[in-house]
Structures are given as structure tokens and as C-alpha cells.
Amino acid sequence: MISQLEREVAFRFLKTRKNDGFLNIISIFSFIGISLGVAVLIIVMSVMNGFRTELITKIVGFNAHAVVQSNNNTLTLAQDSDFTEITLSNDGEAVILNKNNTKGIFLKGYLENNFKNLKIVNNAEYNGSIQLNENSISIGRELSINLNVDIGDTITIMSPVGIQTLVGTLPKQETFEIISIFDSGLSDYNKNIAYINLETLENFFNKDKENRFLEFYFKNPKNIEIHKKKLLTLFPNALIYTWSDMNKSLFSALKVERNVMFIIISLIIIVAAFNIISGLTILVKNKTRDIGILKSIGVSSKSIKKIFFFVGFFIGTSATLFGVIVGTLFSVYIENIRQFISNIFGVTLFPEDIYILNSMPSEISISSIIIISLCSIVATILVSIYPASKASSLDTIKTLKYE
């Protein structure tokens, strides 16, 4: 523990004096560097956490949590306390033909009653009818803009399955009426996926009812690996994939990027912390006379060491605390700040086409803040040891010889 005398001397050394101008500059830069490093690290970790959570929420809300595909065998429905819903579905790839526009599309087929229960249909961004009848289609917001179509318009879709005619085999084409426009929150999904009736899809792609998929929805989709193991025991001969499997490369890349960013930005804190060594070394040099006087009146070398160690520790801890406050506030209002900067300078800081999401997410993690703060304080403690030890080892007689 530090005594009252040691604390008062340490705070006196921290006070600004006119002849300590260069020392004050180093201390200020050390403080700013550590604060900036801590704040930026908290902001980056919050954005990365928010990005991951938002992606999971969007993906889980749009896709089935797990899909079971049969191997030419009819799948039987299975019931379990973890399953909140089981839905029949099928899919296929086709081409949209609309005036001068041609675009590949991934069609997902559901029975009318199952389509009504999808999360994407029951959110505020869904516009139009929920009656997914024969030759009706529900498309994404971006796709409707790209094709310049709206609810009530018709589009032609061409299937890769051919039909025999007098002039040979021609691709099958069907006309669909747009009954609704959805918004999944993911730009890529809105552009490339559409819903049609399951029976219509099977006729369109010449698929058998025996090859329908089973889509499973769970109470806690984040524990997807546990649910997948259970499904493997229920359907040992079927192909099973989950929302995690379909986006494994994306989340792996996010994890790597998050770890790399943590390491890189931590270097800012380490470099700033090393400035404390310079500051304390100069402080020891400037306070040589004061150290000699303190030792001559009976202050021990251990107390001298604690005084200078406390000076470095105080700078690092106060800078860390300030950085935590700035980083937390910035993380909370990061979307408002982004919009403000975009409006003022007319630049796009978070392009929707690149980052998939339409707003900058942020999720503050208390554990991340604690880890970042501890790393910063530990770095401060380590760099304060050497100058403090140097101060305590000064010889009293030599320090006062020329005074």
C-alpha cells in the first residue's frame, strides 16, 4: 500500500511546472496515446461484436436454422422439445426475364400456410399479401428496385428444365405476379432470393414431392452445433446443414479479422505506454535534488520507488479510464456519428453493398472492456518499474553534492 506521504509527493511531482515543459509534453502524449488506443480498441471490438450479432440475427431470421435433405427417401416429421417449428420446403435456380433485364434468381418454395409463419413475412418491413398462391411470387426490396417493378406487376421466370416442342427442347417459362416485397436486412438476400408456392416450384423444376426438405427452427439457434448432433441421430442417412454451415467462411473471416485488429490496435497502447518510460526517466533526472532531500530526511528507497511507480501508474490508469469512457460513448452513438459525418461531408462511410447491413452495428461487451483495460494497466505497470527502480537506487550524497 502507498502511504499518505508517498501519495502527496507523487501528486506534487505530477503538477505542472514551467521548467518541466518537455516532460509535460511527453506526459500529455503518453496520456493521449493510451486513451486513444483504449478508445479505438473498444470501438473496434464493439463494432465487430455488433456486426457478428447483427449478421447472426439477420441470417437466422431469414433462413431456417437447419435443413434436412433426403437421399431420394421421404422424410418423416420428428418432434422434439427444442424444435419450435418444422416446415416443408424446396428450392431451385432460375432466370428472371423482365423487359431489358435478365437476372439469376434463387427460388424457395413453401406451402401457403408455412409461408405465413416465416419471420420475414411477420416483420414491419414486409409489404403486400401473405397469400402465396399458384404463380404468385414474393421478391426482395433491392430486386424490385433493380427490375423497376412493384406489387401487382408480373415478371417472367425461365427454368433450366426443358420442355419438348415441335422445334426441339425449349426452356420452361412461367409468368408470376408479384404479391409482396420483403426486406431481410441483408442486401445480398434481397437481391437474389424470391419465394413462390411449393407445388408451383416442384412443377416448374420437375421435382418430386419425395425430395422435399425439412426445415427446422429452434428455441436457441445460437447453440446450433448441439441441435445438429441431435438431427444427425434422427436422420443418419440424410444431408444436414445449418445456418452456421452456410456462412462458415464469413464468420471465420470475421473472427480472424477481430483477432488481428485486437493485436494491431493493442500496439498503439504498448507504444504509448513506453512513452511513460521516457517521461519518468526525465522526471527522475529533474527531481534528483528532491530525491536526495527526501532520502536525507529518512524516506526509504522503497518509498522513492513507490512514489515514481505511482506517478506512472496514475498516468496510465487515468488515461485508460478516460479511453474507456470515450470508447464506450462513441460505441453507443456510432450510428448517429456516422450519419452526421456522412451528411456533413457527403461521403458514405458504411456502404450497404459492401457490408451487407444498412446501418453500422455496435454491441458493447463488458468482458472486452475489462480485458482491454487490464491489458492497458498491466502495460503501464511493466513500463513504470524500471524508472522507479532507477530513482530508488540514486545515491543520496551524490545527488546533494553539488547543491
The predicted-structure confidence for 175-227, as pLDDT tens digits, reads as follows 999 999 998 877 788 889 999 999 999 988 888 887 888 888 887 777 788 88
Query: Is the same domain home to 323 and 374?
Result: yes
Domain's final residue, options 194, 218, 242:
218
pLDDT in the model for residue 168: 60
Q: Is residue 203 part of a domain?
A: yes
pLDDT (mean) for 276-298: 75
Residues 205 and 341 in one domain: no
Is pLDDT above 60 for 22? Answer: no
254 and 387 share one domain: yes
- Answer yes or no: do 92 and 8 share one domain: no
CB distance 78 to 234 below 8 Å: yes
Domain boundary (197, 218, 239) is at 218
**Same domain as 256, residue 396:** yes
* 10 lies in the same domain as 91: no
Q: Does residue 232 lie in a domain region? A: no
Closest C-alpha to 143, from 110, 180, 192, 178: 192
Give the domain range for residue 122: 83-218
Q: What confidence tier does 293 reach under pLDDT thresholds 50, 70, 90? A: confident
- Are 196 and 281 contained in the same domain? no
Alpha carbon distance 314, 384 (integer Å) = 10
256 and 351 fall within a common domain: yes
Residue type, 63: N
Does 256 share its domain with 212?
no
> 254 and 212 in one domain?
no
* Single pTM value for the model: 0.69
The answer to whether residues 328 and 376 belong to one domain is yes
The count of structural domains within the chain is 2
Identify whether residues 204 and 262 lie together within a single domain. Answer: no
Q: Confidence band (pLDDT; 50, 70, 90) for 84?
A: low
Looking at every residue in the chain, the average pLDDT score rounds to 81
